[in-house]
Amino acid sequence: MIWFITATSSAVALLLLAGLIGGIWPLLSVVYLTLISCALDSWIRVSDEPPTTNEHPPSGQGLAIFLGLAHFVLLVIAIYAVSGGGDHSWMTRLLCFLGFGMFFGQISNANAHELIHRQSRNARRLGTAIYVSMLFGHHTSAHSKVHHVWVATGRDPNSPTEHESFYHFWPRAWFGSFILGLRAENDLRSRRIKKPAFWTHPYVSYVVGGILTLWLSLALFGLLGLATCVALAIYAQMQLLLSDYVQHYGLSRRIDRNGKPEPVSPAHSWNSPHVCNSALLLNATRHSNHHMHPSQNFPALQLDTATMPMLPRSLPAMAMVAMVPKLWRKVMNPRVAAFHLSQKLD
């Protein structure tokens, strides 16, 4: 747990200093979240040995709750600093936007993802609230009720097909997950014997919570605060969808004669064995194991480089590559072809 605590709490501390003090801290926060983590991952040798089983792994609950609460403090400070509340220079405000945006899109996203899979109702509510504050509340429903059911099939909007660029995938995944998540929630409610009240619909809280977030940004920080909130939300959402794009690109499950997909296996997600970014992202890089065991807490997720498809670079690095479709296809399409060949040989 020490690696997770050190990596994530260091980011929180740097961003607090960046937003409240300015100076060199915004630059250091951006460097920490990008260059330092990637450099350390390139230097640290990752073992190819199969994972060992820890019978009593830590739950990570305390860190997840801390990061969840810190998210809202950082969001207020981010809007304050970027919108001009701290009287920072334009360069400082830009660096703050990048640093806070990367935290929300990567660490907050990974943590909210962890929380919505927890058994505790309060933990799930906190995870949902984080997504709502990023104007992406519907991801809570779509992720659990659509993505985990139909991952690596044509019925999952968050599973990109081979050759599909991120710029085509992004709007398709956003609107598709909103619609299919709503449909899944409606179907679930329609099967209840006693019809639930309209206001208990999860999408009501997603929409109302998003509106409340925007209203508070406007009330506290004016029009620039409102614009900052929207821009940070878009930036965070883009990174979340980049993560889905990278981790599922081109992988597909076989469909039987009855139209039923084969069970999800370790082969249906791309993974990253890079230690530093795994610590920053709460093991979200061990994506195959998560899909095999969705309720598994992040410290217990396992990685087996022998059986799980591996990305050539860390997840954030590959997300940057995905922004250049021609380069992305050059790097990943041969790996996807090897996957399809292995599927035929099985």
Q: Model confidence at 193, in pLDDT bands (50, 70, 90)?
A: confident
Angle formed by the axes of helices 202-248 and 90-102, to 10°? 90
The residue type found at 322 is A
Q: Which helix (H) or strand (E) holds 97?
A: helix 90-102
Share of the chain above pLDDT 70, in %: 95
Note the pLDDT of residue 126: 98
> Taking 70 as the threshold, does the pLDDT of residue 226 lie above it?
yes
pTM: 0.94
Environment class of 220 (CB within 10 Å of its CB; exposed 0-12, middle 13-18, buried 19+): middle
- State yes or no: pLDDT of 48 exceeds 80: no
Q: Under a CB-based contact definition with an 8 Å cutoff, are residues 71 and 104 in contact?
A: yes
- The SS3 of residue 197 is coil
Instruction: Please give the Cα distance from 195 to 206 (Å, whole number).
Output: 20
Q: How many residues does the chain have?
A: 346
Query: Residue 50 above 80 pLDDT?
Result: no
Query: What does the DSSP 8-state code read for residue 293?
Result: S
Taking the domains of the chain in order of start, what are their residue ranges? 2-43+58-345
Residues 289, 326: contact at Cβ < 8 Å?
A: no
Chain centroid offset of residue 141 CA: 14
Secondary structure letter of residue 264 according to DSSP = P
Least confident of 51-60, 107-116, 135-144, 269-278: 51-60
Residues 322 and 315 sit within 8 Å (Cβ to Cβ) = no
Mean pLDDT of the residues in the chain: 92
pLDDT at 217: 98
CB 264 within 8 A of CB 291: yes
Token pair for 191: 């099967």
